[in-house]
Amino acid sequence: MQQSTLAWLGGCDVVYLVFCLGVSAYTISHVLAKSADKWPVLNPTGFEVIGIKGRVEFAKAAGNLIEKGRQMFPQQPYHMITDTCDLLILPPKFAEGIRNNPDLNFIGSIVEDFHATIPGFEPFRDGREDELTKTVVKKQLTKLLNQVTEPLSVEADFALRHHFGTSTGEDRQKVEGIRVFEEILDVVARISTKVFFGSELCRNEECLKITKNYTVDSFIAAYILRIFPKPLRHIAHWFLPQCQTIRQQFAESKKLIMPVIQARRTLRRRMQVEGIPTPDFNDAIDWFDHEGKGEPYDEASCQLGLSMAAIHTTTDLLIETMQNIMLHPELVEYLRKEIFQVLGAEGWKKTSLYNLKLVDSVVKESQRLRLSAMSMLPAIPEELP
**Banded pLDDT at 168 (limits 50, 70, 90):** low
Lowest mean pLDDT of 100-109, 158-167, 254-263, name the range. 100-109
**Banded pLDDT at 379 (limits 50, 70, 90):** low
Per-residue pLDDT, averaged over 320-329, amounts to 91
> Is residue 127 predicted with pLDDT exceeding 90?
no
> Is residue 248 predicted with pLDDT exceeding 90?
yes
Nearby residues of 226 by Cβ (< 8 Å), 6 or more positions away: 55, 83, 84, 113
Q: How far apart, in whole angstroms, are the C-alpha atoms of residue 84 and residue 112?
A: 9
**Banded pLDDT at 383 (limits 50, 70, 90):** very low
> Is residue 181 predicted with pLDDT exceeding 50?
yes
Q: Which residue has the higher pLDDT, 139 or 358?
A: 358
> Is residue 244 predicted with pLDDT exceeding 90?
yes
| CA dihedral sign, ordered 216, 217, 220, 223 | negative
Give yes or no for a contact between 345 and 71, defined as CB atoms under 8 angstroms apart: no
DSSP-based three-state secondary structure for 295? coil
Per-residue pLDDT, averaged over 198-222, amounts to 91
Per-residue pLDDT, averaged over 251-268, amounts to 94
**Banded pLDDT at 226 (limits 50, 70, 90):** confident
The pLDDT score that the predictor gives to residue 18 is 44
Percent of the chain at pLDDT exceeding 90: 26
> Is residue 169 predicted with pLDDT exceeding 70?
no
The pLDDT score that the predictor gives to residue 15 is 45
**Banded pLDDT at 207 (limits 50, 70, 90):** very high
